[in-house]
Amino acid sequence: MNYIMSLITTFGPIFSSNQAYFEKNVRPVIEAKCASCHAGMAGQDWTQYKSAKRAMSKINFRVFVLKNMPPMSSPALTAQESSILKSWIDSEKSEN
């Protein structure tokens, strides 16, 4: 156990806090509401943290500015899901 703690102290946590938040909170939203179209495509698998982070401004624009995602033919985001995505996007922006 001390060895693991010394590694974490030396090299930092394996995940950033934003990535941990993504894995716990954002990924389930993306899997439920976005993955049917935005998963499995090269570079656009938004269920993966790095791909979602690269697409973050696009996600923000389409979901919160244009308000055309998810499309009307799909279930809308709940208020909680919107809040989770917005919190993650805002947190990522502040980290950069």
Domain presence at residue 72: yes
pLDDT computed for residue 7 by the predictor: 43
Check residue 3 and give its pLDDT.
Answer: 52
d(CA 48, CA 40): 10
- Please give the tally of structural domains in the chain: 1
Residue 68 lies in a domain: yes
Share of the chain above pLDDT 70, in %: 77
Rounded-to-integer distance, Cα 61 and Cα 14, Å: 29
26 — pLDDT class (breaks 50, 70, 90): very high
Domain region containing 60:
14-95
Tell me the C-alpha distance between 79 and 13, whole Å.
31
In a domain, residue 83? The reply is yes
